[in-house]
Amino acid sequence: MLMRKLGRTGLRVSALCLGGNTFGWTTDQKASEAVLDAYVEAGGNFIDTADVYARWAPGNKGGESETALGEWMAARGNRRAVLIATKVMGPMGPGPNDTGLSRLHIVHAVEDSLRRLRTDYIDLYQAHWDDRETPLDETLRAFDDLVREGKVRYVGASNYHAWRLARALGESDKRGYARYESIQPKYNIAIRDEYERDLEPLCRELGVGVIPYSSLASGFLSGKYRAGEALPATARAGGVQKTYMNDHGFAVLAAVEKLAAAVGGTPAQVALSWLAHRPGITAPIASATSVAQLKELLGGIELHLDEESRAALDRASAWRQS
């Protein structure tokens, strides 16, 4: 599988980051391990999760995805062969200090993640969301201490606005802290402006790795959502309808499907290829609940669209600059 350098780090990561949000939720342990085995066999080495996955599901407490990954790595003895990215910030208990990016929560949360993952280090530890209530210096100092202690190799951020990411990078540079080496933005061909307007130029100038989530627009870009038809019976359908099922979304989907038919691929593969091969993108995150679905995703990474095809997709998905 194609490998890329993550930001300014020495890590070489696969160009498809396997999302772990379904592990311990819609994918049981056996199915999760089958997907993980197939991913590694195909040359993949980069897996993303979070401590809150999948706290939202009835009966879950959070940490189910990390636990599934930990059991898999322990059974396979392959910890050094994979790079684990996880996140901290979301609520993991009822108390006021069981959430956020305070030093107190970070030092407790990292120990819990290490225990569930059955490892003594995390390759990429990320702030899941911004925390405006905690001083930025407190958060960055806590992350820096984890790097110095060897519990974390590198740190990154997710869901940060460009100005907050720029401020964090400036603070880290001024104080000599480990900096955010990556960002996880919501980014796909159907919604481009949120990332491209401000984050893209910042990340490309400062060498920040970009690991987009919602790469297939929560399944919308697979083509299973149709105007005037019943929504798929999934927990994400309502959000997809609100965000993507509009004139712009369906115009983008039509262009993706037209090109997929021309190149002999699937809409999901075309949408993923467009994203994976954009300048500045390190590795899109995509989840698979079966080996067949994983193979389709891998086909998208391997699919190289010519310049004319990419230009057609760019025109169909363009956002209006003000």
Is there a contact between 286 and 317 (Cβ–Cβ < 8 Å)? no
Per residue in 74-132, pLDDT tens? 999 999 999 999 999 999 999 999 999 999 999 999 999 999 999 999 999 999 999 99
Amino acid at 132: R
- How confident is the prediction along the chain (322 residues), in pLDDT tens digits per residue? 999 999 999 999 999 999 999 999 999 999 999 999 999 999 999 999 999 999 988 889 999 999 999 999 999 999 999 999 999 999 999 999 999 999 999 999 999 999 999 999 999 999 999 999 999 999 999 999 999 999 999 999 999 999 999 999 999 999 999 999 999 999 999 999 999 999 999 999 999 999 999 999 999 999 888 887 777 877 777 788 888 999 999 999 999 999 999 999 999 999 999 999 999 999 999 999 999 999 999 999 999 999 999 999 999 999 976 5
What's the rounded Cα separation, in Å, for the pair 275 and 294?
A: 17
Q: How far is CA 135 from CA 87, 100, 110, 173, 252, in A?
A: 19, 11, 19, 16, 41
First to last CA, the chain: 39
Q: What domains, with CATH codes, occur in the chain?
A: 3-184 (3.20.20.100)
pLDDT value at position 322? 56
The strand pair at 3-5 and 12-14 is best described as antiparallel
DSSP readout, 169-226? HHHHHHHTPPPEEEEE-B-BTTB-HHHHTTHHHHHHHHT-EE--B-TTGGGGGGT---
Does the annotation count 53 as an active-site position? yes
Whole-Å CA distances, 91 to 46, 55, 274: 25, 9, 34
Number of H helices, E strands in the chain: 12, 10
Catalytic residue among 39, 53, 154, 177: 53
